């Protein structure tokens, strides 16, 4: 509380000094204008520091995991100060792709074959200039999973690689089938429930660098896919730990939230067109099995999943698919340390659908819940171009796992 009062005093003093210089005392013929501006600014500061800037909730069943995070990943216990002029969830979600920078990253592409005759595109950031880990065979490696229609070019992926580069780590981006410009060799793309491609990628990377510490980070649908994989494999995985950002926990709740009029207008319709665009390039291959004209008429993600995704992966109904795709149902079975960051104002993953009680039953899971941040937003600072709260959580957690993982990996 004393810190809050200090922050308010400092902010009010700085505003007063600024306004004394910039605003004439005779504004509107008297000092009333200055008083109004100062009063509004003080009220805004009070509201921001009391209702917007808050410490995240840290939810975990394990005292040792909690202590580990407080010691080695302290950002999850610090107050998150959202950007003062765009703290609302939808605004953060919309602005993040346009505001944040796009660090230059040079990839090495690899195409790997799958048992069904398909291929998967991996983009490697080898970090061969790593000073901390000059031996490539033991260089810590992070597998990155982008969101629904995302690839290695997404700004949040580029930021994760930039953070990893400073620590000396290697990164590999798993591009879902057909999304990164490669040819679709079979009439199959991807979904949040089917983990076969992810399993193939994980074992491929592990076989190439068996002596290297290995973990993964998934964003949005990439996080859902990673959670579903971990829920199926338990401890039987080469991964030491995982980080999850803005995952949708219950697909039914996510779909319902995104179908509300404003959310449909801002997000749902656009993402549906992105999904349609991603498969239209492979139309000649896919129309062997699907009525592509019907698929292209979808106006929501749910309609697209009903006509395309659920059919492709053999589900009897879309409800069957959504049940299987919801990570909340597999959370109890996760057998390695997992840190999950969500914002309670994320319309893609509504706060009421986050499985807090289930997380309290698994000592391997820690939820970090912010009051603001939106979907993959987490903007902070007056001009949040270079680094977000999510970037800082990612950097501290992966460093904590690779440098002190023995403290939690034996839980």
pLDDT tens readout for residues 259-314: 999 999 999 999 999 999 999 999 999 998 999 999 999 999 999 999 999 999 99
- 98 vs 385: CA distance, rounded Å: 9
Percent of the chain with pLDDT over 70: 91
Q: How is residue 307 written in tokens?
A: 């006509």
pTM, whole model, 2 decimals? 0.90
Do 346 and 375 touch, CB atoms closer than 8 A? yes
- The answer on pLDDT for 3 being more than 60 is no
- 128 vs 134: CA distance, rounded Å: 7
Of these residues, 346, 349, 371, 391, which one is catalytic? Answer: 346
pLDDT tens readout for residues 300-359: 999 999 999 999 999 999 999 999 999 999 999 999 999 999 999 999 999 999 999 999
Residue ranges of the alpha helices (H) in 281-317? Answer: 283-286, 292-295, 301-304, 310-312
Residues 275, 278, 284, 285: what is their CA dihedral angle, to the nearest 10 degrees?
-90
pLDDT given for residue 23 in this prediction: 45
- 280 vs 59: CA distance, rounded Å: 42
**Averaged pLDDT, 249-262:** 98
Answer yes or no: 346 catalytic.
yes
pLDDT given for residue 102 in this prediction: 95
pLDDT given for residue 109 in this prediction: 98
pLDDT given for residue 50 in this prediction: 82
pLDDT given for residue 22 in this prediction: 46
Strands of 331-407, DSSP E: 338-343, 365-370
pLDDT tens readout for residues 372-403: 999 999 999 888 888 999 999 999 999 999 99
Domain ranges in the chain are 53-250+327-408, 252-325
pLDDT given for residue 32 in this prediction: 61
Q: What is the mean pLDDT of the chain?
A: 91
pLDDT tens readout for residues 217-226: 999 999 999 9
pLDDT given for residue 406 in this prediction: 85
**Averaged pLDDT, 167-185:** 96
Of these residues, 159, 209, 282, 375, which one is catalytic? Answer: 375
pLDDT given for residue 19 in this prediction: 42
- The answer on pLDDT for 10 being more than 90 is no
Of these residues, 62, 220, 326, 349, which one is catalytic? Answer: 220
pLDDT tens readout for residues 16-75: 554 444 444 444 445 666 777 777 677 778 878 888 999 999 999 999 999 999 999 999
pLDDT tens readout for residues 80-114: 999 999 889 999 999 999 999 999 999 999 999 99
- 366 vs 400: CA distance, rounded Å: 14
**Backbone φ/ψ region at 68: left (φ over 0), alpha (ψ -120 to 50), beta:** alpha
Residue that the structure tokens 């209702």 belong to: 51
The dihedral sign for the CA sequence 209, 210, 212, 216: positive
Q: How is residue 408 written in tokens?
A: 């939690």
**Averaged pLDDT, 200-217:** 98
Residue 312: closest CA among 279, 290, 293, 327: 290
pLDDT tens readout for residues 132-171: 999 999 999 999 999 999 999 999 999 999 999 999 999 9
Answer yes or no: 206 catalytic.
no
pLDDT given for residue 18 in this prediction: 44
Answer yes or no: 278 catalytic.
no
pLDDT given for residue 288 in this prediction: 84
- Residues counted in the chain: 411
How many CB atoms within 10 Å of residue 167? 17
Give me the CATH code for the 53-250+327-408 domain, please. 3.40.50.1820
- 22 vs 11: CA distance, rounded Å: 16
pLDDT given for residue 291 in this prediction: 92
pLDDT given for residue 411 in this prediction: 59
């Amino acid at each position: 509380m004393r810190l809050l009062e200090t922050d308010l005093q400092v902010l009010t003093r700085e505003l007063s000094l600024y306004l004394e210089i910039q605003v004439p005392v005779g504004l509107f013929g008297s000092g009333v204008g200055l008083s109004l501006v100062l009063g509004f600014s003080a009220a805004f500061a009070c509201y921001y520091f009391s209702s917007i800037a808050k410490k995240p909730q840290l939810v975990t069943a394990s005292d040792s995991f909690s202590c580990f995070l407080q010691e080695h990943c302290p950002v999850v216990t610090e107050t998150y100060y959202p950007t003062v002029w765009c703290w609302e969830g939808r605004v953060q979600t919309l602005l993040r792709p346009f505001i944040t920078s796009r660090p230059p990253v040079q990839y090495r592409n690899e195409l790997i074959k799958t048992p069904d005759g398909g291929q998967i595109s991996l983009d490697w950031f080898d970090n061969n200039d790593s000073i901390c880990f000059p031996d490539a065979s033991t260089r810590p490696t992070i597998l990155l999973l982008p969101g629904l229609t995302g690839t290695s070019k997404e700004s949040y992926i580029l930021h994760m690689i930039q953070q990893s580069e400073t620590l000396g780590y290697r990164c590999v981006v798993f591009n879902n089938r057909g999304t990164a410009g490669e040819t679709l060799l079979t009439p199959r793309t991807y979904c949040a429930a089917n983990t076969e491609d992810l399993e193939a990628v994980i074992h491929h990377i592990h076989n190439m660098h068996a002596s290297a510490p290995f973990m993964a980070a998934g964003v949005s649908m990439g996080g859902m896919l990673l959670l579903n994989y971990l829920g199926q494999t338990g401890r039987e995985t080469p991964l030491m730990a995982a980080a999850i950002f803005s995952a949708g926990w219950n697909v039914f709740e996510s779909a319902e939230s995104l179908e509300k009029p404003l959310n449909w207008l801002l997000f749902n319709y656009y993402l549906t067109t992105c999904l349609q665009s991603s498969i239209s390039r492979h139309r000649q291959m896919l129309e062997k099995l699907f009525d592509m004209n019907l698929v292209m008429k979808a106006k929501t993600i749910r309609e697209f999943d009903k006509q395309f995704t659920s059919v492709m992966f053999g589900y009897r109904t879309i409800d069957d698919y959504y049940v299987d795709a919801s990570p909340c149902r597999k959370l109890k079975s996760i057998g390695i340390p997992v840190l999950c960051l969500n914002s309670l104002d994320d319309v893609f993953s509504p706060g009421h659908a986050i499985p807090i009680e289930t997380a309290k039953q698994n000592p391997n899971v820690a939820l970090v819940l912010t009051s603001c941040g939106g979907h993959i937003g987490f903007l902070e600072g007056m001009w949040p171009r270079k680094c977000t709260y999510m970037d800082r959580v990612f950097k501290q957690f992966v460093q904590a796992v690779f440098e002190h993982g023995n403290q939690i990996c034996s839980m």
